[in-house]
Amino acid sequence: MAAKILVVEDEASVRSMILFVLSQSGYETLEAEDAEQTRQRIAEQIPDLILMDWMLPGDANGIELTRELKRHPLARDVPIIMLTARGEEDDKVRGLECGADDYITKPFSPKELSARIKVVLRRVAPHTVEDPVVVGLLRLDPRSHRVSAGDSPIELGPTEFRLLHFFMTHLDRVYSRTMLLDQVWGTNVYIEERTVDVHIRRLRKALEPFGADSYVQTVRGAGYRFAEPDAN
């Protein structure tokens, strides 16, 4: 599953260049030109990474918006790379202290941008580089498309596999049915929200013989969360 990257940049020409580079690298892209649009995009779909311009029009610049997102209940764990023409050491420190995970000074090359993104995703979101993921007794390998509990293989359908992969790489965060549809099925697929419940039941049934069905937790009135039972 390709990582989704939100590009927050008010200059249309720069934004278009970044979006092109990202699409050529195989990433899915979202875009916003100011803080208000960024909030709207976050409400619609949680990205895997945000490229944040420092100088933004409107009610918040990139520094202020980064601080705001790091307090957001769903977006606080999303890595943010700050993009800015400010190259002084004090500016870099300020950018990192506000919560940014990395800092790229303009102008930058497409190669540098791609390399920085890969490093940050590898550090904070192992699912985007297809590394095996382990949570409790569960192990999921995206490359071989295998799931196991200890030495025992677990048979999953393709949708349940994607759903479990998403859950295992987004631990202890509550996702509504709409969010899961966007993140697992994609924004261009139009199916009913109750379809999520069907696949959740199938996933739990597959995990039940191994005592892992309780990892998939229902949060009444909000959606679903994935966590080891004793971790809460």
What integer pLDDT is reported at residue 232 of this predicted model?
47
Kindly state the greatest CA–CA separation across the chain: 57
Per-residue pLDDT tens over the stretch 4-26: 999 999 999 999 999 999 999 99
pLDDT in tens, 62-112: 999 999 998 887 788 788 998 888 767 777 777 777 888 888 888 889 888
Secondary-structure percent of the chain, ordered helix, strand, coil, rounded to 5: 45, 20, 35
> Distance of CA 154 to CAs 48, 140, 143, 180, 218, Å?
27, 10, 15, 22, 22
The DSSP-derived string for 27-64 is -EEEEESSHHHHHHHHHH---SEEEEESS--SS--HHH
Q: What is the pLDDT of residues 143-202, one digit of tens each?
A: 888 999 989 999 998 889 989 999 998 888 888 888 888 778 765 455 677 888 999 999
Stated pTM of the model: 0.56
Q: What is the pLDDT of residue 210?
A: 95
Residue that has been written with the tokens 């995703």 in this structure: 121
Architecture (CATH level 2) of domain 131-231: Orthogonal Bundle (1.10)
Kindly state which CATH superfamily the domain 4-128 is placed in. Response regulator (3.40.50.2300)
| 146-149 sheet: strands from edge to edge | 133-135, 138-141, 146-149, 152-154
Residue among 202, 181, 183 nearest 193 (CA): 181
Provide the β-strand partners of residue 7. 31, 51
Task: Tell me the C-alpha distance between 16 and 183, whole Å.
Answer: 23
Domain boundaries, the chain: 4-128, 131-231
